[in-house]
Amino acid sequence: MSIARSKNKKKRKKRTKIIKILGFFLFIASIFIIFSLFFPIFIIGRIGTELPDINELTPREQPLTTEVYASDGSLLTYLHAEEDRKIVPLNEISRYVINATIAREDERFYEHQGFDIKAIIRALLMNIIEGKIVEGGSTITQSYIGCSYISLERTYLNKLKEAYLAYQLEQRFSKDEILELFLNTVYYGEGSYGIEAAAKNYFGKSAKYLNLNEAAFLAGVTRNPGGYSPYTNYREALERRNSVLNKMYELNYINKTQLEITRKKPLLVISQKRRERDFALFFIDYVKQILIEKYGITKTFNGGLKDYTTVNHNLQKLAEEAIKEHLYEEDDPTAALISVEPATGYIKAMVGGEDFKKSQFNIAVQKNRQTGSTFKVFVLAAALENGISPYIAYPPNGPIVLENPGAADWEVENYGKAEFEETKMIILEGIIRSVNVVYAQLIMDVGPGEVARTAMDMGITTKLEPYPSIALGGQGVSPLDMSAAFATLANNGVYIKPVAITKILDPNDQIIYEHEPEEGIRVLREANAYRLTKILEQVIQRGTGVRANIGRPAAGKTGTTQEHWDAWFVGYTPDMSTAVWVGHPEENIRMERLRGLLVQGGTYPAMIWKSFMQEALKDIPVTDFTFPSDPTFPVTVCTMSGLPAGPNCPPDLIKMQSFRIGDEPDRMDDLFDSINPFPGFVGMRRDDAIRKLEEMGYKNIEVVKTEKAGVKKGTVFDQEAKEGEFPGFETPIKLYVSS
């Protein structure tokens, strides 16, 4: 009896336990039913009055990443502030990403109306068990609301507000539209906002090409980007990916085989170092500064612009390689190179220093360095424009002291204290051999102000002071300016301002800026630009720039400062103008021999220029400089001799006369006849010699009579100036005549 009662008692206890369990589940079911029936009404009635209508809210403006492209359409870099984001439509996102996101974030996404009652109850129970909010039960729609409209603390009341707004949002947008908004907004870690930026940063590809392995990782990383980072927490990242894969399998998005194969795969994310693009960094920084000046910082970095530039991907690579070919040791000086297309002004390549990551100072555009003898080009350009013949001559040897009105006298000597056999040197030869003394005298006759004006007209943007020392490069100029100014010569005397950006699109691919090609400004006579080019060709063919000879028509000029702080070669062809500077950007440091070779304009800069230009022009047909359509130019002529007026021709005897290329008295095949070195009169009769001197323009003639054995009376046996010299017309001429 007692045994039977005991058994019945146990049965009753068991039934009671079952009833309690059933009661608990009925209670939960009741709560679920109540929430299902009354939750929307409660939210609309209770919470809705405390929130504005979603139609009255404006989504937070999402920063968009700016893209910078090379001239061939290849991507150079992204510009962004804290948020790296690029918007892509849903049809350009991998289906794996869409399925993985729904599986991880909101498995009933296509069933609810903005909030998920089941998810909310589950989260509520979890939070009760834990005693704090550990799960929110948010849908994809709610998460987007939190990212874009409101940012609320995690409280029950705020979750209800979020759900209410999500409900409204789903009345405005389709499910696919909301999913697209979410995927382009959510943060994926590593500075990546939106799926496209995440795909590029983690895997180096567009979102539409993401595979199952990659998509599962990205869908899982959003909940805790730092904790699931594959760079710092690789194991946790794998576990998170696998949990997403399991959920996708559970929801029949993938099959068993896909699950098992993918779970075994590693996460092949690209290295953080590789993500940092290190190509054309100085040019990109230059473009960035232009954009900031044009649009401001916010729009530049967050405006989602597409910026199409002039830089040529291949030429930029060749420029960087040309410098590394010649300057590769740690203690070598630094080089800058910039190349401009003469006909358009397009900047095709720019290297602003050794390593942008070590120093962001761009020597090519920001640093003004003394140019040395390259500035002689502007002196000669000003001389030609003012009618001075390239065949007038000056004494070439120094040191000399020149009177400098209003300032101290100017003492000049040649580079390396060089001396020449000639007593007079034509200015054409003076630039080919880079003779300081000749060009110091020339600038005093042309006028420093005229030279400064000509240089600035040709493309030098630095304000030049009209000091005589600019003839020898005594003032600082940037490589960009030098390249642009020499491009003026290649462009037949027409200056075109350098261009870095050709087109800018807004995030909707609407053109907001487009460069209009310029006709340019004529700053030199076409004939003079051509004449100067033909002279500068000889610098490369037989002068100080022979190491720059590329075997095709090219012109240029070397330059080295007196203290060996700066070395230049600036040269051009009809297709390209390139400036190369070598030196130490941080301070003035004397450059000595480098691997047995003295660092000067005709060595390392010329060699770098040649290495770059030979490869850059390899596939471009060889063309000569265009003969001018107007080949006329003025020359000042001394009326007494009919020859180009030298520095000693009396001003009242100078007249301007027009000549044509090929017919002028200073063309190469008439060089020595045109210059007329002083003739010899020894052996001539006195009257014949005087008549000849007067015809030449000399008036100050003195006859010294003296006995001379063996010489017939009235015959010249000696003279001053001597035969072969170049005396000015005011120079006293002595004829020694036998008595």
CA distances from 328 to 3, 233, 332, 583 (A): 100, 39, 7, 14
Could you tell me the pTM of the whole model?
A: 0.72
Average pLDDT, the chain: 83
* pLDDT per position as a tens digit, 569-587: 999 999 999 999 999 887 7
Say whether pLDDT at 257 is over 60. Answer: yes
- Predicted confidence at residue 609, as pLDDT, reads 98
Which string of DSSP letters, residue by residue, matches 681-731?
-TTSBHHHHHHHHHHHT---EEEEEE--TTS-TTBEEEEESPTT----TTS
The pairing of beta strand 334-340 with beta strand 577-583: antiparallel
Reduce the DSSP state of residue 541 to 3 states and report it. helix
Q: Kindly indicate the confidence band of residue 669, based on its pLDDT and cuts at 50, 70 and 90.
A: very low
Interval 304-320: pLDDT, tens: 899 999 999 999 999 99
Q: Which of 124-133, 398-407, 596-605, 686-695 has the lowest mean pLDDT?
A: 124-133
Contact 313, 70 (CB under 8 A): yes
HEC states along 11-73? HHHHHHHHHHHHHHHHHHHHHHHHHHHHHHHHHHHHHHHHCCCHHHCCCCCCCECEEEECCCC
**Residue 79 confidence (pLDDT):** 80
- C-alpha to C-alpha distances, 96 to 134, 182, 219, 259, 336, nearest whole angstrom: 28, 16, 10, 13, 47
Please give the single-letter amino acid code of residue 401.
V
What are the tens digits of pLDDT across the range 189-207?
Answer: 887 888 998 998 899 899 9
Q: What is the 3-state secondary structure (H, E, C) of 450-470?
A: HHHHHHHHHCCCCCCCCCHHH
Count of Cβ atoms closer than 10 Å to residue 508 Cβ: 8
pLDDT digits (tens, 9 = 90+) for 324-354: 999 989 889 999 999 999 999 999 999 988 8
Higher pLDDT, 80 or 123: 80
d(CA 452, CA 458) in angstroms, rounded, equals 10
pLDDT score of 571: 98
The backbone region for 345, taken as left when phi is positive above 0, alpha when psi lies in -120 to 50, beta otherwise, is left
| Contact between residue 244 and residue 219 where contact means Cβ atoms under 8 Å apart | yes
Answer yes or no: are the C-beta atoms of 638 and 646 closer than 8 Å.
Answer: yes
